[in-house]
């Protein structure tokens, strides 16, 4: 959730001007003689909006670590390094078995709702499909469903 902050500013304004005073553009204002007390309400979020990344990027990162880091030789070593279980490492790296077209489309997604929808768990059934064309059709069906 966020919090609402109010700040107060007192201004002396020449009220003889014929145009609409600038202070009337504020959503809340209060007048007193020739002085205007202006209240400005702002919405300040507690934390920035979360940006989701594709689980496929995490799978590629795991494989890069396995290939390039000499201290990480097995998936068990990688699991200890990343702070997850060894089966979890296997589940994530299995995403690289997806068809290359599906992987490209996953990485090109910019819609945060769609990226969040395609979690590793939702992509697991696609890995079980052997035919690449059918795998792509299923992925596109799921994408059309989420984008509406």
pLDDT digits (tens, 9 = 90+) for 16-48: 555 666 656 555 555 555 555 555 566 666 677
Q: How are the residues of the chain apportioned to helix, strand and coil, as percentages rounded to the nearest 5?
A: 55, 20, 30
Please state, for a pLDDT cut of 70, what percent of the chain lies above it. 69
Helix axes 55-68, 100-108, angle to 10 degrees: 110
Q: Residues 93, 141: one domain?
A: yes
Q: Residues 32, 72: one domain?
A: no
Q: Residues 25, 81: one domain?
A: no
Per the structure, the complete domain to which residue 138 belongs is given by 55-147
Q: Residues 23, 68: one domain?
A: no
Q: Residues 91, 127: one domain?
A: yes
Mean pLDDT of 119-144: 93
Whose tokens are 């060894």? That residue is 86
Q: How far apart are the C-alpha atoms of 103 and 108, rounded to whole Å?
A: 9
Domain count, the chain: 2
Q: How far apart are the C-alpha atoms of 67 and 11, rounded to whole Å?
A: 65
Q: Residues 20, 92: one domain?
A: no
At 69, give phi and psi (nearest 5°): -90, 115
Question: Positive or negative CA dihedral for 11, 16, 21, 27?
Answer: positive
Q: Residues 77, 7: one domain?
A: no
In a domain, 50, yes or no: no
Q: Residues 72, 35: one domain?
A: no
pTM value?
0.63
Q: Residues 138, 65: one domain?
A: yes
């Amino acid at each position: 959730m966020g919090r609402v902050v109010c700040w107060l500013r007192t201004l002396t304004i020449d009220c003889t001007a014929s145009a609409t005073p600038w202070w009337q553009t504020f959503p809340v204002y209060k007048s007193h003689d020739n002085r205007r007390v202006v209240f400005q309400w702002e919405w300040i979020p507690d934390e920035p909006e979360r940006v989701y990344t594709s689980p496929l990027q995490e799978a590629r990162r795991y494989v890069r670590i396995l290939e390039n880091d000499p201290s990480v030789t097995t998936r068990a070593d990688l699991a200890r390094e990343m702070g997850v279980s060894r089966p979890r490492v296997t589940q994530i790296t299995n995403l690289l078995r997806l068809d290359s077209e599906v992987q490209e489309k996953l990485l090109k997604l910019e819609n945060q709702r769609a990226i969040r929808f395609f979690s590793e768990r939702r992509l697991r059934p696609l890995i079980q499909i052997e035919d690449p064309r059918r795998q792509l059709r299923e992925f596109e069906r799921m994408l059309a469903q989420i984008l509406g």
